[in-house]
Amino acid sequence: MRQIDFTKSAERSLRKLAESDQRLAKQIKIKLLGMLQEPQPNESLKMVGNPEYLRVRVGKYRIIYRFDETMLYIVLIAKREIVYEEFA
């Protein structure tokens, strides 16, 4: 079974979100747990210009990640308006 590895930025974003909007943070955590079993759900899309990374939508937030056989690497969790600028 895969494990989740967060960048410091993604972990910090999720922690701040849990303080401000517990419902949305819970939805993101549920999505992440589901991605451990199915790392490329139907709604995931490859990042334009960097197809090694994928993105998945949870409300107004996007999760940028990649995966291999043993790990799910969460690179960034942020609002749609800023996630692509921060990822670039």
Q: What is the mean pLDDT of the chain?
A: 95
The per-residue pLDDT for 70 is 95
pTM for the structure as a whole? 0.93
Query: Given pLDDT bands bounded at 50, 70 and 90, which one contains residue 59?
Result: very high
Beta-carbon count within 10 A of 25 CB: 20
The per-residue pLDDT for 22 is 96
pLDDT single digits (tens) 11-54: 999 999 999 999 999 999 999 999 999 999 999 999 988 999 99
Beta-carbon count within 10 A of 17 CB: 20
Helices (H), 1-88: 8-20, 22-37, 80-87
- In the predicted structure, residue 6 carries a pLDDT above the cut 80: yes
The per-residue pLDDT for 21 is 96
